[in-house]
Amino acid sequence: MSMKCKPLSTYLMAFPTGACSPCAPMPLMKEGEAFGLGDAEKALFDSVSQEHINVVGTEVLYWTQNQKKSIVDPLYNEPVKRAFEGPYRLKGFFTYPDKSPSAGMEGYSSSFDASLFLSRTEVERVGMLAPPGESDIVRVWNAPYWNEQFAVDGFAIPDAGLYFSVIDAKEDGVVFDTTHFIGFQCALRRTTQQTPERKLVTSI
Residues 128 and 45 in one domain: yes
Which pLDDT band, with edges at 50, 70 and 90, does 158 fall under? low
Return the ∠ at Cα 198 (arms to 137 and 151), rounded to 5°.
Answer: 95
- pLDDT of 115 reads 97
For residues 5 and 48, membership in a common domain is answered with no
pLDDT score recorded for residue 75 = 83
Whether 93 and 171 share a structural domain: yes
Ramachandran angles phi, psi of 33, nearest 5°: -80, 130
Question: In terms of domains, do 9 and 97 share one?
Answer: no
The answer on pLDDT for 151 being more than 60 is no
Give the mean pLDDT of 124-150.
Answer: 86
Domain identity same for 65 and 150: yes
Asked if 129 and 80 sit in the same domain, the reply is yes
29 and 40 both lie in a single domain? no
Over residues 171-199, mean pLDDT: 88
| Selection from 20, 93, 85, 88 nearest residue 55 by Cα | 93
Distances (CA, A) of 2 to 8, 13, 21, 93: 14, 21, 11, 57
Residues 6+ apart with CB under 8 A from 3: none
Could you tell me if 40 and 62 lie in one domain? yes
Domain that holds residue 9: 1-34
Among 21-25, 145-149, 184-188, name the most confident range. 184-188
Query: CA-based Rg of the chain, rounded to a whole angstrom?
Result: 25
Shared domain check, 83 and 165: yes
pLDDT of residue 167: 96
Q: pLDDT: is 103 or 158 the higher one?
A: 103
Q: What is the count of structural domains for the chain?
A: 2
**Do 148 and 101 fall into the same domain?**
yes
Confidence label for 183 from pLDDT (cuts 50, 70 and 90): very high
- The mean-pLDDT minimum among 11-15, 55-59, 85-89 falls in 11-15
Q: Does residue 148 share a domain with residue 58?
A: yes
Phi, psi angle pair for 57, to nearest 5°? -75, 175
> Is it the case that residue 14 has pLDDT exceeding 50?
no
Q: What pTM did the predictor assign?
A: 0.73
The confidence score (pLDDT) of residue 15 equals 40
Residue 132 has pLDDT above 80, yes or no: yes
pLDDT at residue number 157:
53
Of the spans 26-30, 63-67, 69-73, which averages the highest pLDDT?
Answer: 63-67
Q: Are residues 76 and 125 in the same domain?
A: yes
Q: What whole-number distance in Å separates Cα of residue 181 and Cα of residue 175?
A: 6
